[in-house]
Structure 1
Amino acid sequence: MICNTKCHINGVFKPGFPRFPPFIFNFIGDFLPITFNTPKQGTRVNVLNYGATVEIVFQGTTNLVGGTDHPIHLHGYSFHVVGYGLGNFNQSVDHMNFNLVDPPYLNTVVVPINGWAAIRFEAVNPGVWFMHCHLERH
């Protein structure tokens, strides 16, 4: 919250989290435009309908926030890890390889450097739940 004020970010805790990325970005590329080094959108909140099936794909990178694996934790829920892979997540191809039969059931998933991890859960625990990376530098 301090950085939201200090960096003149547009808004704090607004609704309107995008359902899909607003543009295609090469998370594993070597080039990062300088404009991506400073966040401008603030923190977004995603309001879920009770009982909705939620799918989130986390993308690992080498060109943002340092190249390392990221342990992502969700409070208030456990989730199924339905897929993971290397490279940029491909919406039209990678979905076909999801494990929908016996996926691991966890509350933390490690998103690999230069890779991705996909989770699914049912929104049946009302409340405000925090999702974060377990690395201290974030």
Structure 2
Amino acid sequence: MAHATDNLIHRRVEMARRGENPYVIRRMPSGWLVIGDVQPLPGYCLLLADPVVGSINALDEAGRIAYSLDVARIGDALLAVTGAERINYETWGNLEPALHTHITPRYADEPPLKRRMAPGRA
């Protein structure tokens, strides 16, 4: 039986710490910015909290601020380099119960149906 700490996020953070995660873009104050394994839209990336915690609610106030600020800074950078119209942010943790946020640039030239749906579902 798998333990709560035996999930993809934990493994990816451990790999990043060892310098073995090929998806790492850079270390952020609150965790690791990684490019998405699959690119439903150009620039899709994730912030993986380090240390790994179950949710943002498990962080103290300083940790919450650092994590939220990193998410916003990543969005700012994506807007600057991709020409995206907006950035979508999703923090779920249902399948991988560890704090991570999906950060997805959205583009004005996406087909109308795709613009109304989550990336990869249209």
TM-score by length of 2: 0.30
Higher Rg of the two aligned structures: 1
TM-score by length of 1: 0.28
